[in-house]
Amino acid sequence: MPMSRLAFACRSTGGACEWALEADSAEVILLRFAEHQKCAHHLPELTGELRQKATAAIRTT
């Protein structure tokens, strides 16, 4: 059974940002998104609200 790919775009959480990625699991996406928030948006960690928004915005490709 092929694994489905998951896709996520930073702008889906409300920002005007072009960063996006694909990964095999939501855990990886949230981890990479947390790193991206730190590097690009100077947010040291994902808040619960942002994590929820991000989780809801993850799409199957």
Contact footprint for Zn ion (CB under 5 A)? 10, 17, 19, 40
Give the span between the Cα atoms of 17 and 13, in whole angstroms. 10
Q: SS3 of 4, please?
A: coil
Q: Which residue has the tokens 């929820």?
A: 52
Q: How far is the CB of 5 from Zn ion (least distance, A)?
A: 20
Of the pair 19, 26, the CB lying nearest Zn ion is at 19
Of the pair 6, 37, the CB lying nearest Zn ion is at 37
Q: How far is the CB of 1 from Zn ion (least distance, A)?
A: 32
DSSP β-ladder status, 20-23 and 59-60: unpaired
